[in-house]
Amino acid sequence: MNMDAGKTLEGVGKVGFVGAGNMAQAIGGALLRTGLLKASNIYVSSPSNTNKGPWIQFGTHTTTENGCVVENSDVIFLAMKPIYLDAALMDIKNTLKQPVSNKLFVSLLAGVPLKVLEEKIHRIVPDARVIRVMPNTPVLVGAGCSVFSCGTTATKKDAEVVKMMLSTGGICQEISESLIDAAGGLSGCGPAYVYLIIEALSDGAVKMGVPRAMATQFASQTVLGAAKMVLETGKHPGQLKDEVCSPGGTTICGIHALEKGGVRSTLMEAVEAATKRAAELGKNK
Ligand SMILES: NC(=O)c1ccc[n+]([C@@H]2O[C@H](COP(=O)([O-])OP(=O)(O)OC[C@H]3O[C@@H](n4cnc5c(N)ncnc54)[C@H](OP(=O)(O)O)[C@@H]3O)[C@@H](O)[C@H]2O)c1
Protein backbone atom coordinates (compact mmCIF):
# COMPACT_ATOMS: atom_id res chain seq x y z
CA MET A 1 0.00 0.00 0.00
CA ASN A 2 1.07 3.54 -0.68
CA MET A 3 1.12 5.23 2.71
CA ASP A 4 1.99 8.74 1.61
CA ALA A 5 -1.06 9.76 -0.41
CA GLY A 6 -1.92 13.37 0.42
CA LYS A 7 -5.21 14.80 1.69
CA THR A 8 -7.47 16.34 -0.94
CA LEU A 9 -10.79 16.76 0.80
CA GLU A 10 -10.67 19.35 3.54
CA GLY A 11 -12.18 17.99 6.74
CA VAL A 12 -12.34 14.41 5.47
CA GLY A 13 -8.86 13.40 4.47
CA LYS A 14 -8.51 9.76 3.56
CA VAL A 15 -11.42 7.38 3.42
CA GLY A 16 -11.40 3.63 4.01
CA PHE A 17 -13.84 0.82 3.30
CA VAL A 18 -13.70 -2.37 5.35
CA GLY A 19 -15.72 -4.52 2.96
CA ALA A 20 -15.52 -4.04 -0.80
CA GLY A 21 -18.96 -5.15 -2.02
CA ASN A 22 -22.05 -3.52 -3.53
CA MET A 23 -22.67 -0.77 -1.00
CA ALA A 24 -19.01 0.19 -0.60
CA GLN A 25 -18.65 0.35 -4.37
CA ALA A 26 -21.77 2.51 -4.70
CA ILE A 27 -20.46 5.05 -2.14
CA GLY A 28 -16.84 4.90 -3.30
CA GLY A 29 -18.00 5.26 -6.91
CA ALA A 30 -20.05 8.37 -6.03
CA LEU A 31 -17.12 9.97 -4.15
CA LEU A 32 -14.85 9.39 -7.13
CA ARG A 33 -17.36 10.32 -9.85
CA THR A 34 -18.06 13.68 -8.26
CA GLY A 35 -14.35 14.33 -7.70
CA LEU A 36 -14.80 14.71 -3.94
CA LEU A 37 -11.96 12.25 -3.39
CA LYS A 38 -9.01 11.05 -5.43
CA ALA A 39 -8.60 7.28 -5.81
CA SER A 40 -5.19 7.55 -4.15
CA ASN A 41 -6.96 8.66 -0.95
CA ILE A 42 -9.24 5.62 -0.74
CA TYR A 43 -8.24 2.40 1.07
CA VAL A 44 -10.26 -0.79 0.73
CA SER A 45 -10.03 -4.19 2.42
CA SER A 46 -11.83 -7.49 2.01
CA PRO A 47 -10.80 -11.08 2.72
CA SER A 48 -10.95 -12.23 -0.92
CA ASN A 49 -10.50 -10.73 -4.38
CA THR A 50 -14.15 -11.34 -5.32
CA ASN A 51 -15.11 -7.66 -5.14
CA LYS A 52 -11.74 -5.98 -5.67
CA GLY A 53 -11.90 -5.68 -9.50
CA PRO A 54 -13.77 -2.34 -9.66
CA TRP A 55 -11.56 -0.85 -6.91
CA ILE A 56 -8.42 -1.82 -8.77
CA GLN A 57 -9.88 -0.21 -11.89
CA PHE A 58 -10.67 2.96 -9.88
CA GLY A 59 -7.00 3.01 -8.79
CA THR A 60 -7.67 2.82 -5.03
CA HIS A 61 -5.42 1.01 -2.55
CA THR A 62 -6.59 -2.52 -1.86
CA THR A 63 -5.55 -4.99 0.83
CA THR A 64 -6.73 -8.04 2.75
CA GLU A 65 -5.75 -6.41 6.09
CA ASN A 66 -8.53 -4.40 7.71
CA GLY A 67 -6.02 -2.84 10.13
CA CYS A 68 -4.14 -1.34 7.20
CA VAL A 69 -7.32 0.48 6.08
CA VAL A 70 -7.94 1.81 9.59
CA GLU A 71 -4.34 3.01 10.02
CA ASN A 72 -4.39 4.89 6.72
CA SER A 73 -7.88 6.42 6.82
CA ASP A 74 -9.51 9.25 8.76
CA VAL A 75 -13.04 8.05 7.97
CA ILE A 76 -13.65 4.29 7.90
CA PHE A 77 -16.83 2.81 6.41
CA LEU A 78 -17.78 -0.57 7.87
CA ALA A 79 -19.29 -2.20 4.78
CA MET A 80 -19.54 -5.91 5.54
CA LYS A 81 -22.73 -7.87 6.27
CA PRO A 82 -23.77 -7.62 9.94
CA ILE A 83 -22.84 -11.27 10.64
CA TYR A 84 -19.22 -10.48 9.75
CA LEU A 85 -18.89 -7.46 12.05
CA ASP A 86 -17.10 -9.32 14.83
CA ALA A 87 -14.73 -11.07 12.40
CA ALA A 88 -13.96 -7.77 10.67
CA LEU A 89 -13.24 -6.00 13.97
CA MET A 90 -11.07 -8.90 15.11
CA ASP A 91 -9.10 -8.59 11.89
CA ILE A 92 -8.66 -4.84 12.47
CA LYS A 93 -7.29 -5.63 15.93
CA ASN A 94 -4.96 -8.34 14.64
CA THR A 95 -3.56 -6.38 11.71
CA LEU A 96 -3.13 -2.92 13.23
CA LYS A 97 0.61 -2.28 13.41
CA GLN A 98 0.24 0.41 16.08
CA PRO A 99 -2.52 1.96 18.25
CA VAL A 100 -4.61 4.52 16.37
CA SER A 101 -6.75 7.45 17.48
CA ASN A 102 -8.95 10.24 16.08
CA LYS A 103 -10.91 8.05 13.66
CA LEU A 104 -14.51 8.36 12.49
CA PHE A 105 -16.20 4.98 11.89
CA VAL A 106 -19.27 5.00 9.65
CA SER A 107 -21.34 1.81 9.85
CA LEU A 108 -23.52 0.77 6.92
CA LEU A 109 -24.70 -2.36 8.72
CA ALA A 110 -28.45 -2.95 8.71
CA GLY A 111 -29.90 -3.28 12.19
CA VAL A 112 -26.78 -2.92 14.36
CA PRO A 113 -27.47 -0.16 16.94
CA LEU A 114 -25.02 2.63 17.73
CA LYS A 115 -24.70 1.41 21.31
CA VAL A 116 -23.45 -2.00 20.13
CA LEU A 117 -21.20 -0.46 17.47
CA GLU A 118 -19.61 1.96 19.93
CA GLU A 119 -19.03 -0.73 22.53
CA LYS A 120 -17.32 -3.06 20.03
CA ILE A 121 -15.32 -0.40 18.18
CA HIS A 122 -14.12 1.25 21.40
CA ARG A 123 -12.45 -2.01 22.45
CA ILE A 124 -10.08 -1.46 19.51
CA VAL A 125 -10.05 2.32 19.01
CA PRO A 126 -11.08 3.80 22.39
CA ASP A 127 -11.69 7.37 21.19
CA ALA A 128 -13.40 6.43 17.89
CA ARG A 129 -16.43 8.50 16.91
CA VAL A 130 -19.23 6.47 15.33
CA ILE A 131 -22.01 7.31 12.88
CA ARG A 132 -24.62 4.82 11.67
CA VAL A 133 -25.78 5.23 8.07
CA MET A 134 -28.52 3.49 6.12
CA PRO A 135 -27.78 4.12 2.45
CA ASN A 136 -29.16 2.49 -0.68
CA THR A 137 -27.48 1.28 -3.87
CA PRO A 138 -28.86 4.02 -6.20
CA VAL A 139 -26.12 6.14 -4.58
CA LEU A 140 -24.09 4.65 -7.43
CA VAL A 141 -26.10 6.61 -10.02
CA GLY A 142 -26.54 9.79 -7.99
CA ALA A 143 -30.15 8.96 -7.00
CA GLY A 144 -29.57 7.46 -3.56
CA CYS A 145 -31.56 7.99 -0.39
CA SER A 146 -29.39 7.83 2.75
CA VAL A 147 -30.19 8.50 6.39
CA PHE A 148 -27.84 8.61 9.35
CA SER A 149 -27.68 8.94 13.14
CA CYS A 150 -24.75 10.09 15.25
CA GLY A 151 -23.15 8.21 18.12
CA THR A 152 -22.44 9.70 21.53
CA THR A 153 -19.11 11.32 20.68
CA ALA A 154 -19.59 12.13 16.99
CA THR A 155 -19.28 15.86 16.39
CA LYS A 156 -21.32 18.30 14.33
CA LYS A 157 -18.40 18.38 11.91
CA ASP A 158 -18.50 14.54 11.62
CA ALA A 159 -22.20 14.75 10.74
CA GLU A 160 -21.45 17.41 8.10
CA VAL A 161 -18.68 15.28 6.60
CA VAL A 162 -20.90 12.18 6.37
CA LYS A 163 -23.75 14.23 4.92
CA MET A 164 -21.41 15.77 2.35
CA MET A 165 -20.01 12.39 1.34
CA LEU A 166 -23.39 10.64 1.05
CA SER A 167 -24.91 13.64 -0.73
CA THR A 168 -22.53 13.01 -3.65
CA GLY A 169 -24.82 10.06 -4.35
CA GLY A 170 -28.28 11.59 -3.81
CA ILE A 171 -30.20 12.89 -0.80
CA CYS A 172 -28.92 12.37 2.74
CA GLN A 173 -30.66 13.30 5.98
CA GLU A 174 -29.92 12.95 9.70
CA ILE A 175 -32.73 11.19 11.60
CA SER A 176 -33.33 9.81 15.07
CA GLU A 177 -31.85 6.34 15.52
CA SER A 178 -35.31 5.10 16.55
CA LEU A 179 -36.41 5.59 12.92
CA ILE A 180 -33.39 4.16 11.15
CA ASP A 181 -34.56 0.51 10.85
CA ALA A 182 -37.90 1.63 9.42
CA ALA A 183 -36.22 4.09 7.03
CA GLY A 184 -33.94 1.23 5.96
CA GLY A 185 -36.94 -1.08 5.49
CA LEU A 186 -38.19 1.51 3.00
CA SER A 187 -35.21 3.13 1.29
CA GLY A 188 -32.38 0.63 2.00
CA CYS A 189 -34.42 -2.35 0.78
CA GLY A 190 -36.79 -0.38 -1.45
CA PRO A 191 -34.76 -0.55 -4.68
CA ALA A 192 -35.27 -4.34 -4.64
CA TYR A 193 -39.04 -3.88 -4.21
CA VAL A 194 -39.10 -1.49 -7.13
CA TYR A 195 -36.96 -3.77 -9.34
CA LEU A 196 -39.56 -6.45 -8.74
CA ILE A 197 -42.35 -4.03 -9.65
CA ILE A 198 -40.51 -2.97 -12.83
CA GLU A 199 -39.98 -6.59 -13.79
CA ALA A 200 -43.65 -7.38 -13.20
CA LEU A 201 -44.84 -4.36 -15.21
CA SER A 202 -42.53 -5.43 -17.99
CA ASP A 203 -43.92 -8.99 -17.80
CA GLY A 204 -47.43 -7.58 -18.15
CA ALA A 205 -46.49 -5.65 -21.29
CA VAL A 206 -44.67 -8.68 -22.72
CA LYS A 207 -47.81 -10.75 -22.08
CA MET A 208 -49.72 -8.21 -24.12
CA GLY A 209 -47.22 -8.42 -27.00
CA VAL A 210 -44.60 -5.72 -26.30
CA PRO A 211 -40.97 -6.86 -26.92
CA ARG A 212 -39.04 -7.40 -23.63
CA ALA A 213 -36.35 -4.73 -24.01
CA MET A 214 -38.92 -2.11 -24.93
CA ALA A 215 -41.22 -3.23 -22.09
CA THR A 216 -38.45 -2.98 -19.46
CA GLN A 217 -37.37 0.45 -20.70
CA PHE A 218 -40.96 1.74 -20.64
CA ALA A 219 -41.59 0.25 -17.18
CA SER A 220 -38.40 1.82 -15.75
CA GLN A 221 -39.07 5.23 -17.30
CA THR A 222 -42.65 5.13 -16.00
CA VAL A 223 -41.46 4.46 -12.42
CA LEU A 224 -38.83 7.20 -12.73
CA GLY A 225 -41.39 9.64 -14.17
CA ALA A 226 -43.97 8.93 -11.46
CA ALA A 227 -41.34 9.40 -8.72
CA LYS A 228 -40.24 12.72 -10.27
CA MET A 229 -43.88 13.87 -10.43
CA VAL A 230 -44.29 13.25 -6.68
CA LEU A 231 -40.97 14.90 -5.80
CA GLU A 232 -41.21 17.87 -8.14
CA THR A 233 -44.91 18.79 -7.99
CA GLY A 234 -45.14 18.27 -4.23
CA LYS A 235 -48.64 16.85 -4.79
CA HIS A 236 -49.92 13.95 -2.70
CA PRO A 237 -49.50 10.66 -4.62
CA GLY A 238 -53.23 9.98 -4.18
CA GLN A 239 -54.05 13.25 -5.93
CA LEU A 240 -51.68 12.45 -8.81
CA LYS A 241 -53.31 9.01 -9.10
CA ASP A 242 -56.78 10.57 -9.23
CA GLU A 243 -55.62 12.98 -11.94
CA VAL A 244 -54.65 10.02 -14.17
CA CYS A 245 -57.87 8.06 -13.65
CA SER A 246 -60.54 9.24 -16.12
CA PRO A 247 -64.08 8.12 -15.28
CA GLY A 248 -64.72 4.79 -16.98
CA GLY A 249 -61.18 4.88 -18.45
CA THR A 250 -58.32 2.42 -18.74
CA THR A 251 -56.23 3.48 -15.71
CA ILE A 252 -59.01 2.98 -13.17
CA CYS A 253 -59.42 -0.57 -14.53
CA GLY A 254 -55.70 -1.17 -13.93
CA ILE A 255 -55.97 0.35 -10.44
CA HIS A 256 -58.92 -1.95 -9.65
CA ALA A 257 -56.79 -4.98 -10.64
CA LEU A 258 -53.96 -3.77 -8.34
CA GLU A 259 -56.38 -3.26 -5.44
CA LYS A 260 -57.82 -6.75 -5.95
CA GLY A 261 -54.24 -8.08 -5.71
CA GLY A 262 -53.71 -6.24 -2.42
CA VAL A 263 -50.75 -4.24 -3.70
CA ARG A 264 -50.96 -1.54 -0.99
CA SER A 265 -51.14 -3.99 1.87
CA THR A 266 -48.35 -6.12 0.37
CA LEU A 267 -45.99 -3.14 0.04
CA MET A 268 -46.77 -2.03 3.61
CA GLU A 269 -46.03 -5.55 4.80
CA ALA A 270 -42.72 -5.55 2.90
CA VAL A 271 -41.53 -2.44 4.76
CA GLU A 272 -42.77 -3.85 8.08
CA ALA A 273 -41.06 -7.24 7.50
CA ALA A 274 -37.74 -5.62 6.54
CA THR A 275 -37.88 -3.28 9.56
CA LYS A 276 -38.51 -6.20 11.93
CA ARG A 277 -35.69 -8.19 10.34
CA ALA A 278 -33.27 -5.28 10.86
CA ALA A 279 -34.18 -5.24 14.55
CA GLU A 280 -33.59 -9.01 14.74
CA LEU A 281 -30.17 -8.66 13.08
CA GLY A 282 -29.30 -5.98 15.62
CA LYS A 283 -30.40 -8.13 18.58
CA ASN A 284 -28.20 -11.00 17.40
CA LYS A 285 -25.12 -8.77 17.65
N1 LIG B 1 -26.82 -3.63 -0.62
C2 LIG B 1 -27.72 -2.76 -0.17
O3 LIG B 1 -28.66 -2.39 -0.86
C4 LIG B 1 -27.58 -2.18 1.21
C5 LIG B 1 -28.40 -1.12 1.59
C6 LIG B 1 -28.24 -0.57 2.87
C7 LIG B 1 -27.29 -1.11 3.73
N8 LIG B 1 -26.54 -2.16 3.33
C9 LIG B 1 -25.56 -2.69 4.28
O10 LIG B 1 -24.28 -2.59 3.69
C11 LIG B 1 -23.46 -3.66 4.16
C12 LIG B 1 -22.77 -4.31 2.98
O13 LIG B 1 -23.76 -4.84 2.12
P14 LIG B 1 -23.39 -5.22 0.63
O15 LIG B 1 -24.68 -5.43 -0.08
O16 LIG B 1 -22.40 -4.25 0.09
O17 LIG B 1 -22.67 -6.64 0.87
P18 LIG B 1 -21.68 -7.42 -0.11
O19 LIG B 1 -21.85 -6.95 -1.52
O20 LIG B 1 -21.88 -8.86 0.20
O21 LIG B 1 -20.22 -6.98 0.40
C22 LIG B 1 -19.75 -7.33 1.65
C23 LIG B 1 -18.26 -7.13 1.69
O24 LIG B 1 -17.80 -7.42 3.01
C25 LIG B 1 -16.59 -8.16 2.89
N26 LIG B 1 -16.28 -8.89 4.10
C27 LIG B 1 -16.78 -10.04 4.58
N28 LIG B 1 -16.16 -10.39 5.74
C29 LIG B 1 -15.26 -9.41 5.99
C30 LIG B 1 -14.29 -9.21 7.00
N31 LIG B 1 -14.13 -10.07 8.01
N32 LIG B 1 -13.51 -8.11 6.93
C33 LIG B 1 -13.65 -7.23 5.91
N34 LIG B 1 -14.54 -7.38 4.92
C35 LIG B 1 -15.34 -8.45 4.96
C36 LIG B 1 -16.84 -9.05 1.68
O37 LIG B 1 -15.60 -9.58 1.26
P38 LIG B 1 -15.40 -10.43 -0.09
O39 LIG B 1 -15.43 -9.41 -1.20
O40 LIG B 1 -14.08 -11.06 0.11
O41 LIG B 1 -16.56 -11.39 -0.17
C42 LIG B 1 -17.48 -8.05 0.74
O43 LIG B 1 -16.49 -7.31 0.04
C44 LIG B 1 -24.37 -4.63 4.92
O45 LIG B 1 -24.12 -4.54 6.30
C46 LIG B 1 -25.77 -4.16 4.60
O47 LIG B 1 -26.62 -4.31 5.71
C48 LIG B 1 -26.64 -2.70 2.10
Over the stretch 190-232, which tens digit does the pLDDT of each residue have? Answer: 999 999 999 999 999 999 999 999 999 999 999 999 999 999 9
Q: pTM for this structure?
A: 0.91
**If you measure from the C-alpha of residue 20 to the centroid of ligand 1, how many angstroms do you get, rounded to a whole number?**
7
pLDDT of residue 245: 98
Tens digit of each residue's pLDDT (9 = 90 or more) over 64-118: 999 999 999 999 999 999 999 999 999 999 999 999 999 999 999 999 999 999 9
What percentage of the chain has pLDDT greater than the value 90?
A: 91
Residue nearest to atom 28 of ligand 1 (CA): 84
pLDDT of residue 3: 32
State the Rg of the chain over Cα. 21
**If you measure from the C-alpha of residue 97 to the centroid of ligand 1, how many angstroms do you get, rounded to a whole number?**
24
User: With bands split at pLDDT 50, 70 and 90, how would you rate the model's confidence at 5?
Assistant: very low
- What is the average pLDDT score of the chain? 94
Q: Helix, strand, or coil here: 231?
A: helix
User: With bands split at pLDDT 50, 70 and 90, how would you rate the model's confidence at 12?
Assistant: confident
CATH of domain 190-282: 1.10.3730.10
Of 80, 83, 106, 134, the one to substitute when testing ligand 1's pocket (max ligand atoms within 8 A of C-beta) is 80
Residue nearest to atom 48 of ligand 1 (CA): 23
List all residues whose CB is within 6 A of at least one atom of ligand 1: 18-24, 45-48, 50-51, 66, 79-82, 84, 87-88, 91, 108-110, 134-137, 188
**Ramachandran region, residue 247 (left: φ > 0; alpha: ψ -120 to 50; beta: rest):** beta
Average pLDDT over residues 4-29: 79
pLDDT of residue 284: 65
Distance of CA 110 to the CA centre of its chain: 9
Average pLDDT over residues 22-35: 94
**If you measure from the C-alpha of residue 213 to the centroid of ligand 1, how many angstroms do you get, rounded to a whole number?**
31
pLDDT of residue 8: 45
Tens digit of each residue's pLDDT (9 = 90 or more) over 129-183: 999 999 999 999 999 999 999 999 999 999 999 999 999 999 999 999 999 999 9
pLDDT at residue 7 is higher than 60: no
- Between the two ends of the chain, the Cα-to-Cα distance in Å is 32
pLDDT of residue 106: 98
Residue ranges per structural domain of the chain:
15-175, 190-282
Give 15-175's CATH code, choosing from 3.40.50.720, 3.40.50.300, 3.40.50.1950, 2.40.50.100: 3.40.50.720
What amino acid occupies position 264?
A: R
CA angle 45, 48, 50 (to 5 degrees): 105
Give the number of other Cβ atoms within 10 Å of residue 165's Cβ: 25
What percentage of the chain has pLDDT greater than the value 70?
A: 95
pLDDT at residue 1 is higher than 60: no
Alpha-carbon gap, residue 174 to 161, rounded angstroms:
12
